[in-house]
Chains A and B, each alone.
Chain A
Amino acid sequence: MRALPELMDPKRARESPESAVLSRPSAFPDEVLERILSLLDTHKDRSSASLVSKAWYHAERWSRARVFIGNCYSVSAEILVRRFPNIRSVTLKGKPRFSDFNLVPQNWGADIHSWLLVFAEHYPSLEELRLKRMTVTDQSLEFLALKFPNFKSLSLLSCDGFSTDGLSAIATHCRNLTELDIQENGIDDISGNWLNCFPDNFTSLEVLNFASLNSEVNFDSLERLVTRCNLLRILKVNKTITLDQLQRLLVRAPWLTELGTGSFIQELTPRQYADLETSFKGCRNLQTLSGLSEATALYLPALYPACANLTFLNLSYAALQSEELARLLAYCAHLRRLWVLDTVEDKGLEAVGQNCPLLEELRVFPSDPFDEEIVHGVTELGFLAVSYGCRKLRYVLYFCRQMTNAAVATIVRNCPDFTHFRLCIMNPGQPDYLTREPMDEAFGAVVKNCPKLQRLAVSGLLTDLTFEYIGTFAKNLETLSVAFAGSSDLGMQCVLEGCPKLRKLEIRDCPFGNKALLSGLEKYESMRSLWMSACKITMNGCRLLARKMPRLNVEVMKDEESNDGQSYKVYVYRSVAGPRRDAPPFVLTL
């Protein structure tokens, strides 16, 4: 029986203590074994356990309740239900990540519906569905709402294909719903009426996130919903909720652990402001705060009393200035994760370094990414300032317009614990702005100084040297994103040959050709996927790859954006399900 490649980790199985102790067939009755294995909850542990022996494999598959599928085409619903009969929770990821940036045409696939049909038959007790980059239609949402009476938790991130009508179906029919989490999807936002569809006797909601929907909801409905759902711990409202409405909601649910405010701007009377302050004072359990779009210096202070226990502050939709941020951060000493817009500038990041010694994650998003004349935003100085004050930094996403090799070298000397380093110098192919040299040494420093690095995104002017460094030093690297970089096939080869744990490689606009593509043959079977677009791959190269590696799916699309009409978008991934049967006409499976 073939195990799912996604769920296999042979190395771990050999190292696991269980295999050393139990070298003979299990002496436990199956039920006991299943009971023990049901205590394993991480996917990696379960995968390892399933490889120990046949008995363990079966005990594990009967006791598994949650499954994670990182590429929906790596396996089929039929194979899934055959192996795991008792699944309650499914997490599925669909399109390649570059689809977030419009590099994948519409109707590419990753439609949830065929999965739902199989689940209705085999997992009627399904409770949780978490989807990322999948196509979900209103029809699917209605089907989900009607066919799964125990359904509790729906999370849709970066999905497309549905409208607020689909949400109405969920609200109307899912009597046991505990979570409705709708984030950053490309949907048809018709109206906020879906919120009114929760029945009056519906009280089970614990998580409600509709921050990214734009249409106005009926506030009375929302207030009544929040009032009667006394288990509600996560509430993220959208921009149409005003400050005084927010205040009324906080009064109803002061025990929230995560709050997403609406637009934080409104003319408040002194009395209203006082009430707002009092309500925030009452929120003693707040760990996560987000929203705050259009927050200004005027009303931010009302928040201060709620920030004492804050560990995650998401200001990535709030265009704060440096002083506003500095004053707010003075109250956020326990912050571990911070997302901001680059309107805070280097000065704001200095305040981060000064106030947040426990910070582990920083994301700085650009407020004006497409305007070439903008001279604002953050520079290498801001990043440096953070690295001096926040030595525990391990995750960074940084959009900037200038960087130097020296700065990055200092940053990773200050913070050697990086697991995720994603640097985006927004002008493609831009060198070190002081020395005019390529940024090779910067990323060389990253991989040399940060042994725990799992995820890396590179940018700026880069030669093959960067990739030689990566291949030589980044031994724990799992995900690599490359754009407008490299000099020759050698670059990509270095990575494919040098990074043993590589799972996801996504490349665009690089001079890597067939030689590079074909240097990774067996490697691709140990990876989740490879994406290459606007490189120097030819159809023949792809055909050769497909011929040599029949267990890989090699999908090719014509690159509409390229000038020469010869360049392709290639998506290569391992699969036990064979070539997909739902490929649209513009996707050629070789």
Chain B
Amino acid sequence: MNAMYEKNIDLEATELRLGLPGTSKKEITSRSKKRPLDESTEGSSSNNDDRLECSAPPPSKAQIVGWPPIRSYRKNSLHQKKEEAEAKAGVYVKVSMDGAPYLRKMDLNIYEGYQQLLEALENMFKITIGKYSEREGYKGSEYAPTYEDKDGDWMLVGDVPWEMFIPSCKRLRIMKGSEARGLTCGL
């Protein structure tokens, strides 16, 4: 019973797809396949629909080797430019400290690593944060620098490599007091 039901349904008719009306994946032949002789002489007399149907949807540009035709040197310098632009763009995040009356903002891009970032935080808020250790976090300090990551979780600053930290950090929060000590005691 089910099999018969399936046979009668034209699932394709109800399928949502991007494309011009009247075209379907099955009808579109690959650009590179030869067409039978009679079609090849039609040339100018075939109508628009025929021409469109006979062209394959082109593969996305990213997949085509050597297209668009741009010399490697130019391609590489464009790529370099993009990277430089992204690096310069500035990654500004809000920084809050427990007990402080207002928030600050800083550009993470200007620092080369955690050490510089922590020094900057210490200067900004006139505090001492202490040294990071994997086992014990920021032991011996009243403060623990944390950040909210892309998933919305609050993480301890320093656990992941710097390059991974920059794109995932949405905001910084310097925890203070017992909450901070709770973090550094380890689970």
Q: Which residues of A come within 8 Å of B, CB atoms?
A: 98, 100-103, 158, 184-186, 212, 293, 316-317, 319, 365-370, 372, 399, 424, 426-431, 436-438, 461, 463-465, 468, 481, 483-484, 487-490, 508-511, 513, 534-536, 561, 567
**Is B117 in the interface zone, CB < 8 Å from A?**
no
Complex contacts, B54 vs chain A, CB 8 Å:
487
* Contacting residue for A488 out of B34, B60, B70, CB 8 A: B34
Complex contacts, B69 vs chain A, CB 8 Å:
100-101, 424, 481, 483
Cβ B40 vs Cβ A186 within 8 A: no
Q: Which of B5-13, B73-81, B157-165, B179-187 contacts A (4 or more CB under 8 A)?
A: B73-81
CA distance A319 to B48 in the complex (A): 39
CA distance A463 to B48 in the complex (A): 11
Cβ A369 vs Cβ B71 within 8 A: no
- Nearest-neighbour CB distance to chain B for A238, whole angstroms, equals 11
11 pairs from A and B in contact (CB 8 Å cutoff): A100-B69, A101-B71, A367-B78, A427-B58, A427-B61, A428-B58, A465-B43, A488-B39, A490-B40, A510-B31, A567-B32
**Is B41 in the interface zone, CB < 8 Å from A?**
yes
Complex contacts, A488 vs chain B, CB 8 Å:
34-35, 39-40
Q: 8 more A-B contacts (CB under 8 A) besides A185-B73, A366-B70?
A: A101-B67, A319-B81, A481-B69, A488-B34, A511-B31, A536-B32, A536-B34, A561-B65
CA distance A17 to B52 in the complex (A): 54
In terms of DSSP, what is the predominant structure of the interface of chain B?
A: loop
Instruction: Please indicate which of the listed interface residues A98, A293, A464 has the most CB atoms of chain B within 10 Å of its own CB.
Output: A464
CA distance A436 to B51 in the complex (A): 10
Cβ A437 vs Cβ B68 within 8 A: no
- B112-164 residues with Cβ-Cβ distance < 8 A to A are none
**Is B72 in the interface zone, CB < 8 Å from A?**
yes
Known pairs A100-B71, A102-B72, A511-B35; A487 contacts B40 (CB<8 A): yes
**Is B33 in the interface zone, CB < 8 Å from A?**
yes
Cβ B52 vs Cβ A431 within 8 A: yes
List the 4 closest pairs (A to B, CB-CB), nearest first.
A101-B66, A488-B40, A184-B73, A428-B58
**Is B24 in the interface zone, CB < 8 Å from A?**
no
Cβ B43 vs Cβ A490 within 8 A: yes
Which A residue's beta carbon lies closest to that of B77? Answer: A317
Cβ A463 vs Cβ B51 within 8 A: yes
CA distance A465 to B48 in the complex (A): 13
**Is B64 in the interface zone, CB < 8 Å from A?**
yes
Which B residue's beta carbon lies closest to that of A100? Answer: B71
**Is B2 in the interface zone, CB < 8 Å from A?**
no
Complex contacts, A535 vs chain B, CB 8 Å:
32
- Nearest-neighbour CB distance to chain B for A392, whole angstroms, equals 26
CA distance A464 to B52 in the complex (A): 14
Which B residue's beta carbon lies closest to that of A316? Answer: B74
Complex contacts, A316 vs chain B, CB 8 Å:
74
- Nearest-neighbour CB distance to chain A for B51, whole angstroms, equals 6
Cβ B43 vs Cβ A484 within 8 A: no
Complex contacts, B33 vs chain A, CB 8 Å:
511, 536
- Nearest-neighbour CB distance to chain A for B88, whole angstroms, equals 10
CA distance A186 to B58 in the complex (A): 30
Cβ B31 vs Cβ A484 within 8 A: yes
**Is B168 in the interface zone, CB < 8 Å from A?**
no
Which A residue's beta carbon lies closest to that of B70? Answer: A369
Q: Which residues of B come within 8 Å of A, CB atoms?
A: 20, 31-35, 39-41, 43-44, 48, 51-52, 54-56, 58-62, 64-75, 77-78, 81
CA distance A316 to B78 in the complex (A): 11
Which A residue's beta carbon lies closest to that of B33? Answer: A511
Cβ A436 vs Cβ B71 within 8 A: no
CA distance A100 to B51 in the complex (A): 32
Instruction: Please indicate which of the listed interface residues A372, A488, A508, A561 has the most CB atoms of chain B within 10 Å of its own CB.
Output: A488
Complex contacts, A100 vs chain B, CB 8 Å:
69, 71-72
Known pairs A431-B52, A461-B55, A513-B34; A369 contacts B44 (CB<8 A): no
Instruction: Please indicate which of the listed interface residues A185, A316, A370 has the most CB atoms of chain B within 10 Å of its own CB.
Output: A370
Cβ A464 vs Cβ B43 within 8 A: yes
Cβ B32 vs Cβ A370 within 8 A: no
Cβ A487 vs Cβ B35 within 8 A: yes
Cβ B66 vs Cβ A102 within 8 A: yes
Which A residue's beta carbon lies closest to that of B44? Answer: A465
CA distance A487 to B34 in the complex (A): 8
CA distance A508 to B73 in the complex (A): 21
Known pairs A509-B32, A511-B34; A103 contacts B71 (CB<8 A): no
Complex contacts, B43 vs chain A, CB 8 Å:
463-465, 468, 487, 490
Cβ B68 vs Cβ A369 within 8 A: yes
Cβ B66 vs Cβ A98 within 8 A: yes
Instruction: Please indicate which of the listed interface residues B35, B48, B64 has the most CB atoms of chain A within 10 Å of its own CB.
Output: B64
CA distance A100 to B66 in the complex (A): 8
* Contacting residue for A428 out of B44, B48, B62, B64, CB 8 A: B64
Complex contacts, A98 vs chain B, CB 8 Å:
66
Complex contacts, A436 vs chain B, CB 8 Å:
20, 48, 52
Cβ A184 vs Cβ B66 within 8 A: no
Complex contacts, A185 vs chain B, CB 8 Å:
73
- Nearest-neighbour CB distance to chain B for A432, whole angstroms, equals 10
Instruction: Please indicate which of the listed interface residues A212, A428, A431 has the most CB atoms of chain B within 10 Å of its own CB.
Output: A428
Cβ A184 vs Cβ B74 within 8 A: yes
Complex contacts, A424 vs chain B, CB 8 Å:
68-69
CA distance A358 to B66 in the complex (A): 34
Which B residue's beta carbon lies closest to that of A103? Answer: B66
CA distance A565 to B68 in the complex (A): 23
Complex contacts, A399 vs chain B, CB 8 Å:
68
Instruction: Please indicate which of the listed interface residues A98, A438, A465, A487 has the most CB atoms of chain B within 10 Å of its own CB.
Output: A487
Cβ B70 vs Cβ A101 within 8 A: yes
